[in-house]
């Protein structure tokens, strides 16, 4: 486990500017770490909702002085085409963020399709076991909730392998603990989350 951190000038919680790095997203981080060797000045990172792709892009832009376009697959094609060309002319890196890589985009402009195909790309994958545990630990710590290792292990064994499902579980447990004035525990998690489709059908014997 490592972290890719935003350089901060303001004294805010540093955890808000840390992108947790595991095998599931390491390829995206490596691509941005080596932006000076890109064959063109534009790259593409794809990631699912709530995967931290925007934070990763912000860290990259702050470190490289580059430009960031989020939700690139929804942007005007002419604008993307000119942004790609401007990045080459100015030698200033451009990072496009999207839910999927360009083969899945509905691109009508042939010149844009060609340029995107020439751009290096990487995908943020579904969170692996190490990242799921780290996301739970950090999410509860941010909310000043005492989450014991046995609860983290129980949750990590059952939650759907998606960033959104992990974050949703954290938020629901936070609300349940506050509403019932109860500490975080496996019984509270079972009561709150077990009926949800975001949890797997693994045995409670774990």
205: confidence class by pLDDT, cuts 50, 70, 90: very low
Is residue 184 over pLDDT 50?
yes
For residues 40-58, give the mean pLDDT.
94
The answer to whether the Cα torsion of 35, 38, 42, 48 is positive or negative is negative
75 token code pair: 């942007």
Q: Confidence class of residue 195 from pLDDT cuts 50, 70 and 90?
A: confident
Query: Per the structure block, which two tokens stand in for 95?
Result: 């990072």
**Cβ atoms of 166 and 51 closer than 8 Å:** no
Question: In whole angstroms, what is the distance from residue 19 CA to residue 4 CA?
Answer: 5
Cβ neighbours for 155, distance < 8 A, ≥ 6 positions apart = 132, 136, 169, 189, 193
Mean pLDDT, rounded, of the chain = 89
Q: Which helix (H) or strand (E) holds 123?
A: strand 121-123
Domain architecture of the chain: domains with CATH? 2-123 (3.40.50.300), 129-193 (1.10.8)
Q: Considering the entire predicted model, what is its pTM?
A: 0.85
Summarize pLDDT for 16-34 with one digit per residue, the tens.
568 899 999 999 999 999 9
- Quote the pLDDT of residue 172: 95
Q: Quote the CA–CA distance of 114 and 191 in Å, as a whole number.
A: 52
């Amino acid at each position: 486990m490592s972290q890719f951190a935003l350089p901060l000038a303001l004294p805010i919680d540093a955890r808000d500017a840390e992108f947790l790095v595991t095998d599931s997203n390491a390829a995206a981080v490596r691509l941005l770490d080596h932006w000076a060797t890109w064959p063109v000045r534009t790259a593409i990172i794809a990631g699912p909702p709530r995967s931290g792709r925007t934070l990763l892009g912000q860290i990259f832009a702050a470190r490289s002085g580059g430009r960031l376009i989020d939700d690139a697959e929804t942007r005007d094609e002419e604008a993307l085409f000119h942004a790609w060309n401007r990045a080459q002319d100015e030698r200033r890196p451009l990072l496009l963020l999207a839910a999927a890589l360009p083969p899945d985009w509905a691109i009508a402009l042939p010149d844009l399709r060609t340029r995107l195909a020439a751009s290096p790309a990487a995908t943020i994958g579904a969170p692996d076991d190490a990242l799921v545990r780290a996301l739970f630990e950090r999410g509860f710590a941010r909310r000043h909730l005492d989450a014991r290792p046995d609860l983290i292990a129980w949750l990590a064994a059952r939650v759907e392998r998606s960033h959104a499902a992990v974050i949703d579980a954290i938020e629901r447990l936070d609300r349940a603990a506050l509403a019932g004035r109860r500490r975080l525990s496996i019984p509270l998690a079972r009561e709150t989350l077990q009926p949800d489709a975001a949890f797997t059908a693994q045995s409670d014997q774990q």
